[in-house]
A and B are shown apart, each in its own frame.
Chain A
Amino acid sequence: MKAASDNALQRESKARRHSEAWHHLKWPLIALAVVLLFNFFFTPLFFHLEMKDGRIYGSLIDILNRAAPVMLLSLGMTIVIATGGVDLSVGAVMAIAGSIAALLITKSSYSFLSIVILTVCACAVAGTWNGVLVAYAQVQPIVATLILMVAGRGIAQLLTNGQIITFENPSFAFFGGGTFLALPFPITIVAVTFAILSTLVNRTAAGLFIEAVGDNEKASNYSGINTRLVKLAAYTLGGICAGLAGLIVASDIKAADANNAGLYLELDSILAVVVGGTALTGGRFFLLSSLAGALLIQTITTTILTRAIPVEFTLIVKAVVIIIVCLLQSEEFRKKALQLVRRKS
């Protein structure tokens, strides 16, 4: 009898979680639909897809492909933000990943797979460093990750001796430019990472722990969760995602550019997470919505590019999107807006 009621309770809470996830997925999807609809009517050939040499080409595929690095970053960033933190160093970690990969390709004879694994491990270490500072030294996340953000690009430049290292490596080029299942390979990387992460947070207790730490760290500590370990793991995960994103970028341009690789992408990924409805204060998080947020940003950018609007507008549009989304999420704004409407009517 008790088991049955427990089951019902579980089902109910699961249904509630699903409806909440949907509620947060709704807004970025609606915004995405609006932008796509605009393109449907005003941008010729925007929805045009064609098959060439076993790969699909078209604006939509291009958006998915170009959004891949930010999508990967936003997955890791969602987890970090859910624990109540933020990771400013992901752009710099991407640059480190590019430099390490370039060094390994040009200076060693390791196979493609070991290069990827070594690079991702190095980025995991970088993420763990952030995690140690935040979880064990208890430094504010913005500040703790600022250190690696500043020093990380220096380290990346140190590795490449300040030069842009170019390389030719067919198997590594596949990572960012290859075709898999008729789609660019980065899309597969994002899909697999998302699948692994969402299984991890939905099928195991990890998701609950992350949410609990973000909601109330003290309470979760008292209830027996190893809050420090959860935070450490979150930043390590952020480092791994940044490493993958850095590999995609380096493979795509066939070079390691320590100065520009991943520049400002930490801000884009934070924006994607916030647009996706995960609050910066931590707690509830929505991986799929963050992906939708990243797609929205890239769709806006691509729309601006294809419509020959000056590219500089992208920055202003991004600024307006951040403010609107944040205002909609702000309790005080909604209260004040409601008051205003009521007073008028």
Chain B
Amino acid sequence: MRITAKQIPIIATLAVCLLLYGTAAIAFHDRGFFSVGVFVNFFIDNAMLGIASIGMTFVILSGGIDLSVGSVIGLTSIFIASAMDRYKLPPIVAIFVALLGGTVFGGGMGAVIRYFGLPPFLVTLAGMFFARGAGFLLHLESVPIDHPFYNALSEFHLALGGGIELTASALIFLATFIIAIYLAQYTRFGRNVYALGGNEQSAVLMGLPTGSVKMRVYALSGFCSALAGVVYTLGLSGNPSAAVGLELDAIAAVVIGGTLLTGGVGYVAGTLLGVLILGIIQTAITFQGSLSSWWTKIAIGVLLLIFILLQRFVQTRKLRTTAS
């Protein structure tokens, strides 16, 4: 199999992921870093970020950006909690309304971007303020959730044998991931997203429905954010100030995962690796013990820099090969 320029970023991501994991595993082998339990925990601890990043991947692949992710998570979580607490809504109904609401909210932002040609950056910035404000209007503080169904859901464990268990949030994450890969690689929608991000003008000239694809991409991201909000409520509370700044981590995960920010190039699987890399850094710093949490931010910043410069290198090479 020949390696094309498009695949260099994701190969680099895989290499960094393995390198980080290997280094941490060797450095902390006496504390049991290299164990299935710790590995499974990456999926459990990062389920919320992972789901949100998957939605963000589609948006960035289409050439856009979504800054509203964190706020929508906060709004969804507080909506579910207060709907069950104040209006005694059954959990299933509350979750369904929240998912629908997130999708409509994202689709609405997509519609403004589509019909008025406004920059996604500004529209989703407004969406971010709006969702955060709406969340605070519902309730100012964290609201606990106490419902037999929810308790059962958050207690749920899928035993994999050997004492290894997956929680409901990890299962939702993995399911979303698999569906997203199918959506991106094997459906018409996925191909349209790649075409739109690759070159919007060509996509229009080819007769692709770029407008509706744009709207659906933001609706999908809204849905993923709402789903991440549902995962947050599995911690048995809803909080309007949940996931502040999560959109930045999600963008970082997507970029580190090898998706080009100009759109059109990247893989959902890369984003999973990106989320894993962020998780490994976080866990390694916890395992190390004496390093403080702000080193996480600096490490993420350095990784971002490396990957962005790598992307530049790939792009200039691509330009040169097409020119010659």
Contacts and interface: CB of A to CB of B under 8 A. Distances in A.
Interface of A: 86, 133, 137-140, 142-144, 146-155, 157-158, 161-162, 258, 267, 270-271, 274, 280-281, 310-320, 322-323, 326-327, 330-333, 336
Contact of B119 (A133, A151, A280): A280
B19 interface: no
Contacts of B132: 315
Nearest to A154: B297
A313 B296 CA distance: 33
12 contacts: A137-B309, A142-B121, A143-B255, A153-B294, A157-B292, A162-B294, A270-B125, A310-B137, A319-B129, A322-B129, A323-B112, A333-B116
A315 B125 contact: no
Contacts of A280: 119, 121-122
The main secondary structure of chain B at its interface with chain A is helix
Contacts of A333: 116
Which of A138, A146, A280 has the most chain B CB atoms closer than 10 A to its own CB?
A146
Contact of B116 (A137, A147, A310, A332): A332
Contacts of B65: 142
Given A144-B308, A154-B301, 13 more contacts: A143-B304, A150-B248, A150-B301, A151-B300, A157-B294, A162-B293, A267-B125, A313-B133, A314-B133, A315-B132, A315-B133, A317-B133, A319-B130
A332 to B, nearest CB: 5
A315 B136 contact: yes
A326 B133 contact: no
Contacts of A331: 117
Interface in B123-137: 123, 125-130, 132-134, 136-137
B26 interface: no
Contacts of A323: 112, 123, 126
A311 B137 CA distance: 9
Interface in B161-191: none
Interface in B222-257: 248, 251-252, 255
Nearest to A138: B312
B308 A139 contact: yes
B129 A332 contact: no
A143 B115 contact: no
Contacts of A150: 248, 252, 297, 300-301, 304
B302 interface: yes
The main secondary structure of chain A at its interface with chain B is helix
Contacts of B95: none
B140 interface: yes
B115 A336 contact: yes
A154 B285 CA distance: 14
Given A150-B297, A154-B296, A315 B129 contact: yes
A157 B294 CA distance: 6
Interface in B265-324: 292-298, 300-302, 304-305, 308-309, 312
B117 A332 contact: yes
Contacts of B296: 154
B283 to A, nearest CB: 17
B262 interface: yes
B126 A319 contact: yes
B261 interface: yes
Nearest to A144: B308
Contacts of A332: 115-117
Contacts of B38: none
Which of A148, A312, A318, A333 has the most chain B CB atoms closer than 10 A to its own CB?
A312
A281 B118 CA distance: 11
Given A151-B301, A330-B116, A316 B134 contact: yes
B248 A146 contact: yes
Contact of B127 (A86, A147, A319): A319
A153 B294 CA distance: 8
Given A150-B297, A150-B300, A280-B122, A327 B116 contact: yes
A68 B67 CA distance: 26
A149 B248 contact: yes
A147 B119 contact: no
Contacts of A258: 294
A78 to B, nearest CB: 16
A316 B301 contact: no
B308 A154 contact: no
Contacts of A133: 305, 308
Contact of B133 (A139, A151, A270, A319): A319
Given A312-B133, A327-B116, A330-B118, A146 B126 contact: no
Nearest to B71: A315
B133 A316 contact: yes
Contact of B122 (A148, A310, A311, A322): A322
Contacts of A313: 133, 137
Contacts of A319: 126-130, 133
Which of A147, A148, A149, A258 has the most chain B CB atoms closer than 10 A to its own CB?
A147
Nearest to B293: A162
